[in-house]
Chain A
Amino acid sequence: MAIAAKRARRGAEPGRLRRWLGPDASGYLLIAPAYVTYVIFILAPVFAVGVLSLTSYRLVGTWEWIGLDNFTSMWNDHNYISALKNTAVYAFFTLMPSLSLGLVLAAVLTRQIRGLSFFRQSYYLPNVVSTVAAAVTWLWIFDPGNGFLNRILGAVGLPRPDWLYDPNTALPALIVVGVWKMLGYNMVIYLAALQGIPREIYEAARVDGAKEREAFWHITIPLVQPTTFFLLIMGFINGFQVFDQIYVMTSGGPANATTTLVHQIYLNAFFFHHLGYASAESVFLMIVVAFVTLANFRYGQQGKLMEVS
Chain B
Amino acid sequence: MLTRRAFLVRSLSLTGAVALLAACGTPPAASPTAAPKATDAPKPAATTAPAATAAPAATQAPAAAKPSGPQVTVTFWSGVDPPVKKFLEEDLLPRFQKENPDIKVEATLLLWMEFFQKVSVAFTGGIGPEVVGSGYGQLGSMIGNKWMQPIDDALKTWTDLADFDGPALDSGKKDGKRYAVLVPGVRPFNYRKDYYKEAGYDPEKSPKDWGELRTYSKKLVKLDRDKVTRGGMEIPLKNGEQTFASFAFCNGLKNLWDEAGMPLFDSPEARETADYILKLMYEDNVVIPSDQQGVTGTAFQNGLAAQGYLQSQLYAAVEKASPGVLGVGLPPASTKQGSKQTSLVLGTFYGLGSKVKNMDAAAKLLKFLCSPDSLWTHYAQAGFQVPRKSLKDRFAKDKPYNAMVNKSMEDMQGWPIFPTFLEARQVIVTHLEAIYLKQRTPQEGFKLAAEDTKKLIK
- Whether A and B touch (Cβ < 8 Å) is answered with yes
B68 contacts the other chain (CB 8 A): no
Q: In whole angstroms, what is the CA distance A267 to B117 when docked? A: 10
> Whole-angstrom distance from the CB of B112 to the nearest CB of chain A?
13
Judge if B238 is at the interface, Cβ distance under 8 Å.
yes
- Chain A residues lying within 8 Å of B117, measured Cβ to Cβ, are 270-271
B439 touches A167 (CB 8 A): yes
| Chain B contact surface mostly | mixed
Which of A144, A248, A254, A256 is in CB contact (< 8 Å) with B288?
A: A144
* Residues of chain B within 8 A of A150, CB atoms compared: 227
Contact with B along A248-283 (1 / 0, CB 8 A): 101101111000000000010011110000000000
B452 CB, nearest partner CB in chain A, Å: 8
A165 to B238, Cβ gap below 8 A?
yes
* Residues on A with beta carbons closer than 8 Å to the beta carbon of B430: 79, 253, 255-256
B1-45: CB near A (< 8 Å → 1, else 0) gives 100000000000000000000000000000000000000000000
Instruction: Tell me, in angstroms, the Cα distance from A165 to B124 when the chains sit together.
Output: 36
Contact-residue size bin, chain B (C-beta under 8 Å from the other chain): 35 or more
The answer for the CA separation of A274 and B145 in the assembled complex, in Å, is: 13
CB proximity to A under 8 Å, residues B143-168:
145-146
Q: A145-B227, A160-B227 in contact; A254/B146 too (CB < 8 A)?
A: no
Q: In this assembly, does B228 line the interface, its C-beta being within 8 Å of a C-beta of chain A?
A: yes
Least CB distance from A254 to B in Å reads 5
A154 touches B1 (CB 8 A): no
Give the contact stretch, choosing among B267-275, B289-297, B322-330, B361-369: B289-297
Option from A61, A162, A248, A272 in Cβ contact (under 8 Å) with B289? A162
Q: How far is the CB of A295 from chain B (nearest CB, A)?
A: 33
For residue A60, CB closer than 8 A to chain B, the reply is yes
B434 within 8 A of A: yes
Partner of B124, one of A60, A160, A250, A256: A60
Q: Is B209 an interface residue (CB 8 A)?
A: no
Distance in angstroms from B232 CB to nearest chain A CB is 13
User: Which residues of A are found within 8 Å of B423, using beta-carbon distances?
Assistant: 272
Which residues of B are found within 8 Å of A144, using beta-carbon distances?
Answer: 227, 288-289
Say whether A255 contacts B439, CB under 8 Å.
Answer: yes
Q: A37 at interface (Cβ–Cβ under 8 A)?
A: no
The 6 closest A-B pairs by CB, nearest first: A165-B289, A255-B433, A255-B434, A59-B124, A254-B433, A253-B238
Given contacts A144-B227, A270-B120, 6 further A-B contacts (CB under 8 A): A144-B289, A154-B225, A166-B437, A251-B294, A254-B436, A255-B430
